[in-house]
Structure 1
Amino acid sequence: MTRPADENYLHGHHASVLAAHGARTAENSAAHLLPHLSSGTTLLDVGFGPGSITAGLARIVAPGQVVGIEAAPDALAAAQALMEERGVDNVALRTGSVYELPFEDGSFDVVHCHQVLQYLTDPPAALREMARVARRVVAVREVDYAVMHWHPANPGMSDWLECYRRIARDNGGEPDAARHLRAWSNAAGLPALGEVSVDATTWTYASPEVTRWWGDVQSARILESEQNAKLRALGLDDDRIAAMAADWRAWGEHPDAYFSMVHGELLLLKE
């Protein structure tokens, strides 16, 4: 069955979104995969976004070749610029769909995706396709929005989280993806292919510079990115949206600010 390459990615690719995603690195976002990489490893990165994780993975596996697949041309352009800026020359980027990867079975030692399955209408189908083109390893990392937590509490951030989860589900996705990884793996038939493990790690923001950055980024995304249109489509007015953004900024400036989010991590080690 043919499916669209981009299933209405709800964040869009505004500069504020790419800036937030660009803070991700191989070390802070793919640590569960790193022990399985070495010089010469070939790797497919699915849904690479601005390319910051991809660039880090490419540095580790060089001179091994890395291919990136991304549904959005805007993200591809940003990632290509990053590769050129960093002098990464062992990465080839292209557009395509995770449901129909244009590669033969077992084309790559490793297939990786970060924050992709949560936006899809059929995550098990995507996992099966990634496993098909992987020789040794499939690595996935997904967030769980429902257990995001922060201090101090404020109404705007709580309102944002509730609305975001509604929008994500209206989009056909699953914002609490981390808790579904084992179920999706089973539905995809991955245990028949090798050893499957599921674990969890967190991102935590708890220093003045980082909380200020995170509050500002989230505020900008609410006001300026595709998320703004999604909130309006949900029925929110200007005042309610502005209150969300203001509370994110106020939280980021607070001396006690703390924010943490849980990520599920799935590894398939093929037999």
Structure 2
Amino acid sequence: MGDGTVTLRDMTAAVSPARAYRRLSVEERRRQLLDAALSLFAHRAPDEVSLDDVAEAAGVSRPLVYRYFPGGKQQLYEAALRTAAEELEQCFAEPQDGPLTRRLGRALDRYLAFVDEHDAGFSALLQGGSVVETSRTTAIVDRVRRSALAHILSHMDLGEAPGPRLRTTVRMWVTAVEAASLIWLDEGKQPPLDELRDLLVEQFVAQLAAAAGRDPQTAEVVRDALALESPDGPVGELARRVLPVVADAARMVAGPAPGGGAH
């Protein structure tokens, strides 16, 4: 109207942006802030990200960030880290059918894709040194390692609890996966991810085979796992490449046959 009277439509239009701003539920708003924080932590070290950065990325005010995370950056970082950890834990959740190496390869595809997507954040997380690193953040990372260990052991169909030698072998491999991921980032994301995945699967098989010579339980795991492998699978390919090298080395170590050497 042209007489200066404020209509109901005018009032609705004036308050609609505020209503839209508050339309998200508490959980939805919290999820929005965590997503913004995770996106920033993925590509920048945690101590390089401020609450103002998170607020700007989420399109909200700094006081709103504090409303949901009154503990400030530390609380927000730990919440974001727990969210990332939950995603990492699920990387090793795999249906228990088919050859063990195939299952492991699919799990590694998911794990390495996460590393690729969250490169700087993953590196800062595992290497430490952040101003926000605490015993709680360390515990969150350790939970991912324990989860990976539990998932891998569950694929071995053990008739009894895993012994210390088998657990140690798998834990060593989980540590090797973390180290390889950091090295891969440091080397400019080379070699290609599928090559890194295959290398890690082969190292898993080699570590199990080496431990099998010392531990009957691990030897049984290896026998059962090999029974499901196909000649054109990762184990068959590894055997074709490695066995000739091992055979040559064995002959060199054994030396000439008795009576056949020079006097």
TM class, shorter-chain normalised?
A: under 0.3
The structure whose residues are more often strand, as a share, is: 1
TM-score w.r.t. length of structure 1:
0.24
Structure ranking higher on relative contact order (CA contacts 8 Å, 6+ apart): 1
